[in-house]
Structure 1
């Protein structure tokens, strides 16, 4: 019955991060990472990414890409994908699903248009680089 259904706990201490990888011929290269800031491993991690929005008054939607990251150890990170800066004018959405303590959890993370910029970067834990972090 209804009383037997347990609410899904909120996803905490997991983040999606746009990281400045390096400069290549005077241009910044960005990559998207998953950060596990928990004190324990998360398992069977699946990530789906897509972009959507308007460019020059017309609706634009990117392909949906899916990634299987296996298990992500505690206090660590995994690279998801490189991202081109011409996509920063779109909403860049990442759905993350994983098992934690035998329970399936998921959360949507969205970079808003214009959010991924060098001005919005902060020093990041684990990776020793700068980036834009969303929780």
Structure 2
């Protein structure tokens, strides 16, 4: 029965981490975003994020976005500097019409840094991108 479930490949949906100025605290913060670079709205976007390595694991954080319009993006969460030294995983599940999609995005430890910044789709910013 499990073999009968077909989950298609995710295309044009990305997770990116961007370093932004926090206006109130005057700090540079790393924030994770989900980017919908497709021409279709995404419904019921569920995101479970977690940091881990061989000896440490953060508690899972759960996020829901009711609708992520086509060609748009949404902030997922703030990442503390301490978790950048861990692998950071984002499990994303969403519906496109009646079809469910699922993908895991992984930022390997210490890959979220200034040297890894690149232009991001739709955001007119530079960040670290996982496709």
- SS of the aligned residue for 1:88 comes to helix
CA RMSD of aligned residues (A): 2.2
- SS of the aligned residue for 1:62 comes to coil
> What runs of 5+ residues in structure 2 fail to find an aligned partner?
none
- SS of the aligned residue for 1:107 comes to strand
**How do 1:62-73 and structure 2 match up within 5 A?**
62-73=58-69
Map of 2:90 onto structure 1:
94
Whose radius of gyration is greater, 1 or 2? 1
Q: 1:117 to 1:7 in 2, by over 3 A?
A: same
Contact 1:47/1:96 (8 A) holds in 2: yes
**How do 1:7-26 and structure 2 match up within 5 A?**
7-22=6-21
Aligned pairs, how many? 130
Structure 1 length normalisation: TM-score?
Answer: 0.87
After the TM superposition, which segments of 4 or more aligned residues of structure 1 sit over 3 Å from their partners?
23-27
Contact 2:42/2:96 (8 A) holds in 1: yes
Structure 2 length normalisation: TM-score?
Answer: 0.90
Q: 2:20 and 2:96 mapped to 1: Cα distance? A: 29
- SS of the aligned residue for 1:17 comes to strand
> What runs of 5+ residues in structure 1 fail to find an aligned partner?
none
Whether 1:30 and 2:49 are equivalent positions in the alignment is no
